[in-house]
Structure 1
Amino acid sequence: MKKIEPILHSFLDEQKICVSNITKNSKDLEDLIRLLIKARNNGKKIFTMGNGGSGSTASHFVSDLLKTAIIKDKKRFQAFSLTDNIPVILAWSNDVSYDRIFIEQLKNTVSNGDVVIAFSGSGNSKNLISALKFCKKNHVKCIGFSGSLGGKMKQYCDLCIRVPSTDMLTIESQHVLLCHGIVSTIRKLGNPQFKYN
């Protein structure tokens, strides 16, 4: 049986390398933070979407925007995860196509100036790409979180934040870390006196 320690350390070392590379190229993250704050202040909606582990990240990020990012005397975020309504997802998937589960929800709710955030390790998920195409045509800001290649998704995104890795577990881990970094930054920008308990 192989030793556990070197395998585990190898994974953790890859996370350090990714964080170091992302830190050197953080302009897109800074632009995204400004965009989210602007959307909050202007009463615009934020939608997230993803499949599998990326779907759980989409849901988690909305949870943090709706609660963790609350700042006293500031407007609150209007954020919605398109992965959370299972009956709606199953209805569109069963009656039409799984490729339509996000775009059909967006047709009901998205407006000019809103923000849509897609999470995908490969950047090639058909349901994300069709939703992003629709949003681009309707003047919605499109944001992508992907792996090192960005996939087809990046051509439809105003900003595409790419994790410098092709390992899916690393990409998904980094996406959650980046979302936490975004929320933490928003809180501290809004309240310089804020300290974690």
Structure 2
Amino acid sequence: MENFVQEYTKKLIELLESLEVKVLKEIQQSLENTLKNNSKIYIIGNGGSAATASHMANDLSVGLKLRDIRNFNVESLSDNSAVCTAIANDIGYDNIFYAQLKNKISKNDLLIAISCSGNSTNILKAVEYAKQQGTTIVGMTGFDGGKLKELADIKFHIATQKGEYGLVEDMHMILDHILYSYYISLKPETKSTYTME
């Protein structure tokens, strides 16, 4: 166990040190563009990446709004189990994100797609549809990046051995916390403006 922990943390530190600040700035600017355009941020992911999508939606929407820092319009498309299971049951799991975006997402919106392998069929179908609409795609990937890395306009790629889900998902979550903490740092004295009366 001790050797494993040392090796894991060593790899994680190496990945952190390899982060490209330029890419983080591009992602942050793409978020800002949705405010300028009065548009929406959609986030999609399966499994652990669905949890990351939910966490990002929480941090970037309510987390910042309650502190009067930013009022991003963010939705994680994994969050409504009734919608996801209805689509999966009626027309197939590959459509759970595409069907939610169809005739809804626009060129001024932003789609953040999270997939460790970069090859999840339901992610790719949604991304390909969004690209047809002219939507900017942020691809959060791992391993060799898969097809999502090729399709993404902004590539947050964590290069690891295939199957190192823990490290990739750690880094994806760290991206969320970097973005959130950056915005909090713009107004460090601010706590939630909402109080229980």
TM-score (norm 2): 0.89
Change (3 A) 1:5 1:147: same
> Displacement, 1:47?
0.3
State the partner residue of 2:6.
9
Please say if 1:137 is aligned against 2:132: yes
Map of 1:57 onto structure 2: 52
Contact kept, 8 Å, 2:138 with 2:155, in 1: the verdict is yes
Q: Deviations over 1:44-103 (max 9, x none)?
A: 100000011011001110000112223765550100000001111111111111100000
Q: CA 1:75–1:171 in structure 2 vs 1: closer, same or farther (change >3 Å)?
A: closer
Code of the residue aligned with 2:108 in structure 1: it is G
Q: Which moved more, 1:104-113 or 1:165-174?
A: 104-113
The change in CA–CA distance for 1:50 and 1:72 in structure 2 (over 3 A counts) is closer
Question: Greater shift after overlay, 124-133 or 165-174?
Answer: 165-174
Q: Determine if the alignment matches structure 1 residue 34 to structure 2 residue 29.
A: yes
1:187 and 1:43 map into 2 onto residues whose CA distance is 21
Residues paired across the two proteins, number? 189
1:28 alignment partner AA: V
Q: TM-score scaled to structure 1, two decimals? A: 0.89
Q: Give the letter for the 2:167 counterpart.
A: T
Structure 2 vs 1, CA of residues 73 and 164 (structure 1 numbering), >3 Å: closer, same or farther? Answer: same
Distance 1:150 1:158 in 2: 13
Secondary structure of the residue that 1:117 maps to in structure 2? strand
Corresponding residue for 1:126?
Answer: 121
SS of residue paired to 2:111: strand
Q: What is the alpha-carbon root mean square deviation over aligned residues?
A: 1.8
2:6 corresponds to which letter in structure 1?
H
For 1:184, the equivalent position in structure 2 comes to: 181
Shift of 1:155: 2.1
Q: Classify the secondary structure of the residue corresponding to 1:109.
A: coil
- Give % identity: 32
**Aligned equivalent of 1:107, options 98, 102, 107:** 102
Of 172-181 and 31-40, more deviation after overlay is shown by 31-40
Q: Which residue of structure 1 aligns with residue 84 of structure 2?
A: 89
Query: Which stretches of structure 1, 4 residues or longer, exceed 6 Å deviation after superposition?
Result: none
C-alpha distance in 2 between matches for 1:42 and 1:175: 26
- Distance in 1 separating the partners of 2:70 and 2:58: 16
